[in-house]
Structure 1
Amino acid sequence: MTIMKNFAAVAAITTIALAAHAAPTDSVPTAGTLVVVPAFGEVKHVNDQVVVTLAIEEQDKDKAAAASRVNTKMKQGLEIVKKEDPQASLKTQGYYTYPVYPEERMLPNGQPVKQRMPTAWRVGQYLEVTTTNLDKLPKTVAAAQKILTLNSINFGLTPETTKKLDDQRIAATYKNLNERITSIANAMGRKVGDAVLDTVDFEGSGNYAQREQAYAPAPMAMRMKAADAVEVAEPSFEPGETTLQMQVVGKVRFK
């Protein structure tokens, strides 16, 4: 009989403990809580501008002769580009002249020759072409390659398009901020109406827009073969698209 009483007592205590464990606990108070919410947004657009860098380089024992050929061919290249794409913006840059030395020769004692005389001179110049005429780009480049060489090509957006997309980018970022605030409020068991947006800091993460810096292309380490004035097959280009991103940090206080 005593055993049965003890068993009943243990069962009662266990039941009370389980009931207490199953009872819902009070959540942490969130009144007056300040929540920092990061959000992101982006828009995409087909590239509508291209920056093409063309170049010419000559090498000769006579520095003046090399420079003269570079000047003549750059002038011819400019005339070709202007004819093919009259609306293009042109800028010559990166004119360079430097000596070409023979391979270092060692003396019998193992020491290098102290004074080396240049055996030739390398002269070159770059031409930057900015245009929105992408349909005619292959023809323009092919025509220029009769005289000049193609050094690089970069597609992007015009300033006008970038400015137009800025409204869409801000709207997309702000929409994502509101979506995140709603999700956070639900997770906290609060109504969205209890949240007050205290601060909106665009680019508040410190990831500020990079400032563009213009650098002239470095002189080519190897001599480019001079282009022959013959017909060149048109190259193929795909403009692709650009993604513009934005970040925002919002500070939300719950009532």
Structure 2
Amino acid sequence: MSRYRNLVVSSVLAVASLTAYAQTKVPTTGVLVVVPAYGEVKHVNDQVRITFNIEEQDKDKAAAASRVNLKMKQGTDILKRQDPQAILQTRGYYTYPVYPEETQPRANPNKPRLPTGWRVGQYLDATTTNLTNLPKTVASVQSVLALNGINFSLSDATSKKLDDLRIAATYRNLAERIGSIARAMGRNEGDAVLDTIDFEGSGNYAPEGAMPKTMMMRSAASDSAQVEEPSFEPGETTLSMRVVGKVRFK
């Protein structure tokens, strides 16, 4: 019985406290409130950037370079056949000397070291929205080149379409926060007048946003044998926006 009495007393005290708080009003006429808000939209990634590479090693620098050039051409031709719409870019051609391992200090450290071979390599990037054919394309190219990396993202066209939705979501969150602040201050939402809206979210009061997420994979070098088709999951990208509004109450 005493426990029930304690609950009743606690409830009465809580109601009394809320009533006293509601009766104690701080003047808010003309006050300027800075309201940060945040909005985001998500969409399945519809674009991928694939990176292939080839590296050869030989005592003869010209022989190593010749094999790299040949395999890069073969891999490029395969990519063009498998995905004619892909945008291709070769880059990062390198040639490095290979020196013998030294287990003991050299008798004459001032004598120049002579290379025993050469490492030659090159990279090939392919950007495409043809994700349906991606496993077959990659497996075909892997018979000649190595898969070095793959990065899923949103295409420019999709990003532009999502921009309207992102702005709307951000503004909706701002309006919801203004309503919550007005109610907490004991004011009507109609008393709040937007003075400034900063869609850049600049200023020290704006939280730092995260960059769009992407998926990255790494793969070891492949040989010339037929390669089974790999499995890929493009995932999704989150586009976010910050907004800061300055609200003045009548």
- Report the TM-score, using the length of structure 2 for normalisation: 0.81
Could you tell me which residue of structure 2 aligns to residue 101 of structure 1? 99
Deviations, residues 149-177 of structure 1 (Å, cap 9, x unaligned) = 10001111110000000000000000000
Pairing partner for 1:164 from 129, 144, 161: 161
Distance in 2 between residues matched to 1:43 and 1:152, nearest whole Å: 26
Deviations, residues 5-39 of structure 1 (Å, cap 9, x unaligned) = xxxxxxxxxxxxxxxxx967642211111101010
Q: Pick closer, same or farther for the CA change 1:30–1:48 going to 2, 3 Å.
A: same
Matched letter for residue 184 of structure 2: A
Could you tell me which residue of structure 2 aligns to residue 7 of structure 1? none
Query: Do 2:55 and 2:120's aligned partners in 1 also have CA atoms closer than 8 Å?
Result: yes
| Structure 2 residue runs without a partner (length 5+) | 1-18, 212-219
Q: Does 1:136 align with 2:112?
A: no
Distance in 1 between residues matched to 2:123 and 2:92, nearest whole Å: 6
Could you tell me which residue of structure 2 aligns to residue 3 of structure 1? none
- Report the TM-score, using the length of structure 1 for normalisation: 0.80
Could you tell me which residue of structure 2 aligns to residue 41 of structure 1? 39
Q: Pick closer, same or farther for the CA change 1:23–1:47 going to 2, 3 Å.
A: closer
Query: Do 1:107 and 1:113's aligned partners in 2 also have CA atoms closer than 8 Å?
Result: no
Q: CA RMSD in A?
A: 2.4
Sequence identity, in percent?
69
Query: Do 1:47 and 1:156's aligned partners in 2 also have CA atoms closer than 8 Å?
Result: yes
Q: Pick closer, same or farther for the CA change 1:183–1:50 going to 2, 3 Å.
A: same
Q: Does 1:231 align with 2:226?
A: yes
Matched letter for residue 178 of structure 1: A
Distance in 2 between residues matched to 1:174 and 1:108, nearest whole Å: 71
Pairing partner for 2:68 from 67, 70, 78: 70
Could you tell me which residue of structure 2 aligns to residue 253 of structure 1? 248
Query: Do 2:148 and 2:221's aligned partners in 1 also have CA atoms closer than 8 Å?
Result: no
Indicate the SS of the match to 1:98: strand
Distance in 2 between residues matched to 1:23 and 1:227, nearest whole Å: 79
Deviations, residues 153-204 of structure 1 (Å, cap 9, x unaligned) = 1111110000000000000000000000000000001111111101110132
Q: Pick closer, same or farther for the CA change 1:23–1:242 going to 2, 3 Å.
A: closer
Q: Pick closer, same or farther for the CA change 1:55–1:108 going to 2, 3 Å.
A: closer
Distance in 1 between residues matched to 2:242 and 2:33, nearest whole Å: 17
Deviation at 1:107, TM superposition (A): 3.2
Q: How many residues align?
A: 221
Pairing partner for 1:29 from 22, 27, 31: 27
Query: Do 2:48 and 2:127's aligned partners in 1 also have CA atoms closer than 8 Å?
Result: yes
Deviations, residues 88-137 of structure 1 (Å, cap 9, x unaligned) = 1111111111112222454388x956532221111111110111111111
Distance in 2 between residues matched to 1:77 and 1:180, nearest whole Å: 55
Could you tell me which residue of structure 2 aligns to residue 216 of structure 1? none
Q: Pick closer, same or farther for the CA change 1:105–1:174 going to 2, 3 Å.
A: same
Q: Pick closer, same or farther for the CA change 1:23–1:203 going to 2, 3 Å.
A: closer
